Structure 1
Amino acid sequence: MATTIPTKYNAPALDKGLDIIEYLSAEGIPLTQAEIANGINKTPSEIYRMLVCLEERGYVIRGSNAGKYRLSLKMYSLSHRHTPFDELKRVAHFPMQSLSETTRQSCHLSIMNNDQLLIISQTRSPSAVSLSIEEGTHFPISMTTSGRVLLSMFSEDVRKDILSRDPHFKKWSKQEQDELYQCVAQAKADGYRHSNSALTSGVTDLAIPIGLDDSDLRAVLAVSLFTSSLQNELNIESILKAMKHTQQEINKLIGG
């Protein structure tokens, strides 16, 4: 049965249409008008006009024999006009801009691409001097703070599979490999990670995961700054606080 979610503003017709689409998606089989109505706690007459509208717009298809309704591929087509990462870049732009203005530091967004970390978006700092990491740059996933946070978002089996193909990880000693796994586990437990950069001396990286539990969309928001600019632990905490707020804003915009 459909669950009613309280909303600030009422839009009964839209609610009914979305209830129908979501119910058909959840059931996964063709259903009659009566079965759909029963599933969303409505009467058949209440949803008749909405079903006609959805059919005319191509969102549902009615079978010619039993007259049962099923979802068309229109929703799939609409969702695939832009990749999830295109949409992520778009919605993350203003929250990332706000983060840079708040922290006075550049920030960047990265994803996994061919077992490497790929920078897909960057917002520059308003300060005269700051670090810049160009979009389109790839980094070894095992060698970066963002990469370790990204690994924490996968299951243990998937992590091992990814790292089995990492050229740097394969050269490490058993102790070094175990230390990486510990770092990843700690990042998962903490929900973030900050550490000195293994690739650039004098740089501290702070990274936090972006994405929803029920989605395959995984990304990492990071701030890289000169270590000398960190006066004390409170400064790190203030940056992390701003990053967590940005994390919540982006996750909300992608459906959280």
Structure 2
Amino acid sequence: MSTPQATPGKEPTRYMVPALEKGLNMLLLFGQHRGELSFTQVCQRTGMPKASAYRTVQTLEQMRFLSRNNASGAYSLGISILRLGFDYLSSMDIVQIGQPIIQRLRDTTSYSAHLCVLDGRDVVYVARASAVGELAAGVGVGTRLPAHCTAIGRVLLMTLPPQELSALYPESAFSLTSEQGPKTPQDLIALLDGDNARGHAISESFYQPGVSAVAYPLRDRDGNVLASISVMVPRSVLPLDLKTSLSTQVETAAREIEGFLQAC
């Protein structure tokens, strides 16, 4: 794994701590892999000598940044990483602002409400207010889903310039999609054009069969999309009156959050 380079205005690389750099690079490796890695794979992918890699792995495991699978002997990210992530998410202004509003949206609609941000090609759920029932534990904070397959992801993508979308989705066809989801970037662009024209996105059994969603973007004072808000409904199809009602309620919540964001 390559060593991070110093950037203008920052301290020269001679002040970097090599052991800390190795540990952080190893955590980045596990984050990018999103799964278990054996010790041999860690050595191969980091390029670290076995002795150095072993000490780093042992240190991270003792501090619970890595967790060892006793059955396979492989490693994955541990609970300390999750705590760091949750601490970061809870410190975000949009979470602090949005949490009471999505809780109220949950109470008025009786459906689970969520806040998401875009990270590359994924949406990351940064706040939720769970409804009682089958969807209560459906999507937790920190969950990542493919943006192109979800309504809450599409509203994060719909205002991106064509060149940014092309860079984000350079392939000719998606290897991961849902039954009703877009099969190619061209399909996605057609969906995004419709979403942009409406100003929001609605999906009915689009990503998960039997689950529908209504999503709106959250914009800053310059009109840039910062995040998205949605309600998740345990229905394959939304009746027109429910679709209209939910759209109004989600939009109202989105405008309330935007009011705070744009005042900051």
TM-score after normalising by structure 1: 0.59
Q: CA deviation at 1:211?
A: 1.5
Matched, 1:103 2:136: no
Match of 1:227 among 226, 232, 235: 235
Change (3 A) 1:123 1:110: same
Change (3 A) 1:228 1:184: closer
The one-letter code of the counterpart of 1:162 is L
Q: CA deviation at 1:243?
A: 0.5
Q: Is the 8 A contact 1:115 1:141 kept in 2?
A: yes
Q: How does 1:134-149 map to 2 (within 5 A)?
A: 134-149=140-155
Q: Is the 8 A contact 1:153 1:218 kept in 2?
A: no
1:135-169 CA-partner distances (Å, limit 9, x unpaired) = 10111122112221111132222122212279836
* Structure 1 residues without counterparts, runs of 5 or longer: 1-81
* Structure 2 residues without counterparts, runs of 5 or longer: 1-87
Count of aligned pairs: 172
TM-score after normalising by structure 2: 0.58
Q: How does 1:10-49 map to 2 (within 5 A)?
A: none
Change (3 A) 1:181 1:233: same
Distance between the aligned counterparts of 2:135 and 2:90, measured in 1?
29
Match of 2:212 in 1: 204
Match of 1:113 in 2: 119
Q: Aligned with 1:111: secondary structure?
A: strand
Q: CA deviation at 1:177?
A: 3.0
Q: Aligned with 2:250: secondary structure?
A: helix
Q: CA deviation at 1:197?
A: 3.6
Distance between the aligned counterparts of 1:101 and 1:137, measured in 2?
22
Over alpha carbons, which structure has the higher Rg?
Answer: 1
Q: How does 1:38-117 map to 2 (within 5 A)?
A: 86-117=92-123
Matched, 1:191 2:203: no
Q: CA deviation at 1:222?
A: 1.2
1:198-231 CA-partner distances (Å, limit 9, x unpaired) = 331111121110112516551111111111584x
The one-letter code of the counterpart of 2:165 is R
The one-letter code of the counterpart of 1:137 is T
- Tell me the percent identity: 19
Aligned alpha-carbon RMSD (Å):
3.0
